[in-house]
Amino acid sequence: MQSFLALLKNPAWDLALVLMLVAGGFFLGISGGKKKMAFIILAIYVLLALFPFLPIDKLTASRAENEVFMWRAGIFLALLILLTLFLLRSMHGAAYVSGIWWEILMLAILAAGFLMVSLLNLAPALLIKNNLLNLSPLTLTLFTGSIAKWWQILPIFGVMFL
């Protein structure tokens, strides 16, 4: 019980980030509807397909491993925001589809987990293997272990069936 209270008092930065992503996705889904959440998930899939073809290695040449990860993650997030805005603009005339709160919460959890897995996949393997990012054991288990492949598959089913 004491360790649980200590976790609530001083949460790890990565778990706090995951909770903020879930909360942000939930409130975005409540205000924008399920379609907006679906377009965010779709934008992550599209960006994962396009990102390996971007010449980012020229920007990160002769930098430390941590810097390489931060550059990749920053560029990924900036492009994700731009791509999401373009996709949302393309659905400007589409009908607003609100959802039940639990459906939006599920999509927010799936989107946050998928984004975390996508960002951690951008890190050089040495950073993850040696835990140089100081990730908590729970984050390492959920987002870089064998469970990580499920975070890449389940969001598309969430979009299709919710």
Residue pair 102/35 in contact by the 8 Å Cβ criterion: no
Beta strand segments in the chain, E? none
Quote the pLDDT of residue 120.
92
Quote the pLDDT of residue 99.
73
Which amino acid, residue 17? L
Mark residue 158 as left, alpha or beta (left: phi above 0; alpha: psi -120 to 50; beta: remaining).
alpha
Question: pTM to 2 decimals?
Answer: 0.86
Q: Measuring CA to CA, how many Å separate 59 from each of 44, 62, 63, 65?
A: 22, 9, 9, 13
For the stretch 79-99, pLDDT in tens is: 999 998 888 887 765 556 677
The residue ranges of the chain whose pLDDT is under 70 are 1-10, 92-97
Location of structure tokens 């379609």: 35
Handedness of CA 82, 17, 53, 90 (dihedral sign): negative
Quote the pLDDT of residue 152.
93
